[in-house]
Chains A and B, each alone.
Chain A
Amino acid sequence: MRDGQSSDLPGSDLAKTVRNFFIVAIAYYLGAEIAFLVGTLSDKIFAPFWPPNVVLFCALVLTPPRQWWIYILAVLPAHIAAELRIGMPATQLLVAFVTNCSVAAINAFALQWLKVESPWFGNIRKATAYVFVTAFVGPALCAFGGAFVQILGGGAIEDYGLYWARWYASNALGSLTLGPIALICLEKIPFSLVNPVRRRLEALLIATVLALTCIVAFQEVPAIATGYVPALLYLPLPIIVWAAVRFGAKGASGAIMVVSLMLIWRTLNGPSLFVVGSAEANVFAMQLFLIGLSTPILLLGSAIEETRHAETATREREERISFAAASSSVGLWQYEIATGTFWATDYCRTLFGLPSGEAVNLDHLLSRIHPNDYRVASAAFRSAIARAVPLEIEFRVQGMNDGIHWIGARAQPVLDEDGEPTAMTGAFGDVTSRKMAEADADMQRQEIAHLMRVSMLGELSGGLAHELTQPLTAILSNAQAGKILLSGGKKNLEEIGNIFDDIITEDGRAGEVIHRLRGLLRKGENKYEAIDMNELIGSTLRLLHSELIDRRIAVSDEKAVDLPATKGDPIQLQQILINLFMNAMDAMDGVAPARRVISVSTVMTNEGGVEVRISDCGTGLPPSQEQHVFQPFFTTKKRGLGLGLPICASIMKLHGGTLSLQNNVSEGATAIFRLPPAGV
């Protein structure tokens, strides 16, 4: 049985089913033979221990109920052959078959219904269910039918209760002694318990010692007379416990089987340790003893199995985490608050450019942080540890011999059951490549922002040229007037002086325009400085002055008097302003000139930042597309690139601000952007 059925019974294909059919039939027959070999009672009918039922139960519990008929059919001839050999009459034989089948079916069905499945004795719940069903409820119910077998064989009806008890005990004992070991051996990992060699030898040693103990204990006939029976009976117990502790459910079930077989054989074939009365009564006492012994041992074995499983799972999880941490370039660390001890994985040393093997502490690691980041990063660390709050920070570290690395650090407090922090635990990761990609993306964003500024200024070129033409016109006219005055007879030196003053003023005006244009056309690093938003709006409107006049657009502004300063890159913020003003202008192309008004207002936000609103009275946004305007390449203009607003939004994000666009209640749309206070 053990060697033959190494795979699951429910074969998916016909060949497997046919093979299992014969295996079950043969095993059933051999089980009956073993029962007869171990010994039956005087009537040759009743076996104190009946393996065939266990064989059928195993076959059924491993197959879905719709296939059960196959195995019931398989064991019928085996049953007939076995029982006829001992001369059982046909009626008796059939009733025995029906009760045997029903106990196997009830047990199998109940276990399947309770969802008890491989590993069968992996935890205490399954083991309890198994014992409860197969050793108590199942046989107890079927014994009502089984008791008739002996009555049919000539037993007295008055002894029905006795027969019931015998039938019950015989089946319960089979379930407890043979069932577990059979099911465990039918699992796919039958020999894992005897690996490695050391374990194999230990198993062998336990089996030998157990067998010897049993022989010594159960053979000690004089003990019967001296009343040492209970002591002798429990002699194998330490060995059984040893097996259960060392080998879990497998050890427990194996030991139970060995003890049971030896005790049954001894009881049937020699002077019994159980001297109650008749041979039947002696056997019954022995059965009860074995049931009583097996049940707790089996449960102990599964409890140990469960614990060991949990331990293995925990250890595997820890190993997986360590492995994942090592392979994903993460260094783990922990800081015990009570003791101030600091523990870190070896990879932390690599990350911080420390030679491996050297003892590390937090100061050690922090001292490797780049001087530019040291102050902020170490302060963040110390404060997070001191207050036991989560930490997330990125900083640079001077690598051992390969330049600067970016390290990302995260830390969490570890809380005890009372919610009190006991430690800080965290991880370091090398985020250099991500930082590089971010820098690349930032460069590209800057490039695009610059291109957008250039193309925007291209669109504005007419108006911008006019802004330069005005001062140049004044300068030229002044200079020419001066020349005429100088060539005349009477020289008005005062007027000539005024002319020079005006020329200087106008040159300054032209210079300012050029300066602003150069700023917008320049490509370069962002610089952050304090910004007076009202002033920036004013200078932007001056730049757009001619364009606004040319497009006959009036501007009404409502600037907050006490507007706080904000912080940002003046060029990029001006780019946003120009872009929003141009959008507003474009939106009003179809509006009658007299009604073309752009309103711009500034207010202080609740957080002390700055809010700017730019409204037009143009066409507004198409209602369904309000949310699309910040998507790249979305445009409502005929010649738009669809990059203006996405760039503006990304600039705002970089400044820690927000940009939104909404339709006005009456007409047109309003762009709103908010910037945080300068101090943040």
Chain B
Amino acid sequence: MREAGFTTFLVDDDPAVLKAITRLLNAAGYKTKSFSSPREFLSAHDPSIPGCAIIDLVMSELDGLHLQQALIERGSERPIIFLTGKGDVSTSVRAMKAGAVDFLMKPVKREALFSAVLRAAKVDALSRQKRDESKSIGDRLATLTHREREVLEYVIAGRLNKQIAASIGTVEKTVKVHRGRMMAKLGVRSVADLVRLADKAGITPAYVSG
């Protein structure tokens, strides 16, 4: 289930708590990396390492919600589990809305912690897979010529070759050639596959009036 190299990043400014939770996760076989300073964690953060972050909500240097915000601003999608000493509904809602995986009350039970970490691992794996996929699509799109890209946008808009030819000022035959090359470069066989891919890549169809 766990990806190779999956690491739990622990951030808590209470050294005793940090040490104990690290110990617990280690005993359960997790690879851990502990930070008693949220800023240190932030500066050492490497998004390429698969894993999740377990962050104490109340810290003097930088509190949990601000740390979460800072990570989001840096484009990190690291799943976060918050630990807190007090059950504050509004804070937990804000944390969850900002994408936290879970919000756990201290003292945290082993089962609750482990299940949250497992869920975080899933989220992390999924987001990594998605990221990989969109990265390969991007790579393939980058190989298209300007014309091929233009044709792609008209095709996913549902235009016929003839219409496309008229729009870009060429003959139907040329459009057919561009279309064939484009489909091959992107590795799709049907227009349906092409539309799904374009959707994933966020390409907007070229709508032409009339």
Contact = CB atoms under 8 A, between A and B. Distances in A.
Interface of A: 462, 465-466, 469-478, 480-482, 484-485, 488, 495, 499, 502, 505-506, 509, 546, 548-550, 552
Interface stretch (B14-22, B126-134, B149-157, B194-202): B14-22
B84 to A, nearest CB: 9
Counting chain A CB atoms within 10 Å of each CB, the highest count among B14, B59, B83, B108 belongs to: B14
Contacts of A473: 17, 20-21, 83, 85, 106-108
Interface of A, secondary structure class, is: helix
Contacts of A482: 27
A482 B60 CA distance: 30
Interface in B96-155: 106-110
Contacts of A505: 16
Contacts of A477: 17, 20-21, 23-24, 107-108, 110
Given A469-B107, A470-B106, A477-B17, 6 more contacts: A462-B86, A466-B85, A478-B20, A480-B110, A484-B28, A549-B63
Contacts, number: 82
Contacts of B107: 469, 472-473, 475-477
A469 B57 CA distance: 13
B132 to A, nearest CB: 33
Nearest to B61: A549
B23 A470 contact: no
| Residue of B20, B58, B60 with most chain A CB atoms under a 10 A cut-off | B20
Contacts of B16: 470-471, 474, 502, 505-506, 509
A476 B23 contact: no
A276 to B, nearest CB: 124
Contacts of B60: 548-549
B26 interface: yes
Contact of B20 (A465, A502, A546, A550): A502
Given A465-B85, A465-B86, A476-B107, A484 B24 contact: yes
Interface string B10-54: 000010110111011011100000000000000000000000000
B111 to A, nearest CB: 9
Contacts of B83: 473
A499 B20 CA distance: 8
Interface string B55-72: 000111001000000000
A506 B14 CA distance: 11
Contacts of A499: 23
Given A470-B106, A476-B108, A506-B16, A550 B24 contact: no
Contacts of B17: 470, 473-474, 477
A480 B59 CA distance: 24
Nearest to B88: A462
20 contacts: A472-B106, A473-B83, A473-B106, A476-B109, A477-B21, A477-B23, A477-B107, A477-B108, A477-B110, A481-B27, A484-B28, A484-B110, A485-B27, A495-B23, A499-B23, A502-B19, A502-B20, A546-B85, A549-B63, A550-B58
A148 B110 CA distance: 138
Contacts of A469: 85-86, 106-107
A509 B15 CA distance: 13
A398 B179 CA distance: 118
B58 A481 contact: no
Nearest to A476: B107
Given A473-B106, A476-B108, A484 B58 contact: no
